[in-house]
Amino acid sequence: MERISLWKERIEKRLRELFDPAGPDLLREAMAYYLFQPGKRIRPLFTVAVSSALGGDEEDAITAGCAIEMIHNYSLIHDDLPAMDNDQIRRGFPTCHVKYGEAVAILAGDALLNYAFEVLSDRKNFRTLSGEEIVELIGVIAKKAGSAGMVGGQVLDITGERDLERVNLLKTAALFEACFMSAGVVSKREDLLHDLEEAGRKVGLLFQITDDILDQDGYFELLGEREAKEKAETLYSETLNALEELFGEGGSEIRYLVDRIYRRIT
C-alpha cells in the first residue's frame, strides 16, 4: 500500500533526524546498532496510521512512533542479554552484547530508553502539541513501557508465569496500546483513549500469537498448531471488528497492517 511505504520512508528519515545523543562514541554506536538495522517499524506505522485516521498531524505521530521504536529496541537489547534470553543472533547479526560486550549493551539499552523520553519531552520536536499534551503523551508511553506494562510482562515471563495471556498482555500488547493511545493524544481525541487502548491490545495479542506460531513456541507449544491458528483467526476477526467500530470505513491502512500481521501464518 502506497501510504504505508511513504510513511515508512518518513519514519526512517525522522529516526535519523531525531537520533543525536550526547555521550561516548562507543555508547552512541551501541545505541544505534539495533535501531538502524532493517526492520518492519510496525509500531510507529500503527501510530501514524491511527493518527491519520483520526485527523491528527502525521509528523507528530511519526515523532511519537519513533520514540516508541527506540523503547522497543532498548527492550530487545536487554531481552537478548545472558541474564534474559541469552540470544546470540538477532535479524541475522550478532546481538548487541555479543558485539559490544554485556556491560556496554546494558548501558546502551538504558541510554536508548532515556533518550526516547528526551525526544518526547523536547517541545521543538512537535508541531501541534501543547505542553500539557506532551506530558500526557509521555505519561501514556511511560506507563505502557514500565512496570505496569512491558517490563512487568518481561518479569512474568522470566519467572515462569504459566498464564500466557497475562504475560502477553503486558510484555507485547502494552506497547501496541501505547501506539494507539499516543495516536489519540496526537489527534486530540482523549475521548477515544479507552477504545484505542482496547484496539491496540487486540493488535498486540494478535502480533504475539502469530510470532509464537512462526517460532513454534508460546501458544504453539501450549495449544498445538491447529488450535493456535484457530485462536489467531478468532483474534484477527475480533480485531477487525473493533477497528470497524472505531473507524467505520476509514482506517484502511490500519486494517492493512493488521492483515499483514495475520497473513504471516496463512
Q: Which domains does the chain have, with CATH numbers?
A: 2-265 (1.10.600.10)
C-alpha to C-alpha distance for 44 and 179, rounded to whole angstroms: 7
Mean pLDDT of the chain: 97
Which pLDDT band holds residue 234 (cuts at 50, 70, 90)? very high
- Provide mean pLDDT across the span 171-198: 98
pLDDT (0 to 100) of residue 249: 86
CB 116 within 8 A of CB 137: no
CB-CB contact of 179 with 46 (8 Å): yes
Residues pairing with 90 in the sheet: 93
Q: What percent of the chain has pLDDT over 90?
A: 99
For 192, residues 6+ apart whose C-beta sits below 8 A from its C-beta are 54, 184, 246
Q: Alpha-carbon torsion 154, 158, 159, 164, what sign? A: positive
Task: Give tens-digit pLDDT for 18-65.
Answer: 999 999 999 999 999 999 999 999 999 999 999 999 999 999 999 999
User: How far apart are alpha carbons 35 and 124 in whole angstroms?
Assistant: 22
> Is this prediction's pTM over 0.95?
yes
DSSP 251: -
Is it the case that residue 187 has pLDDT exceeding 90? yes
State the Rg of the chain over Cα: 18
93 strand-pairing partners: 90
Residues 6+ apart with CB under 8 A from 147: none
Banded pLDDT at 155 (limits 50, 70, 90): very high
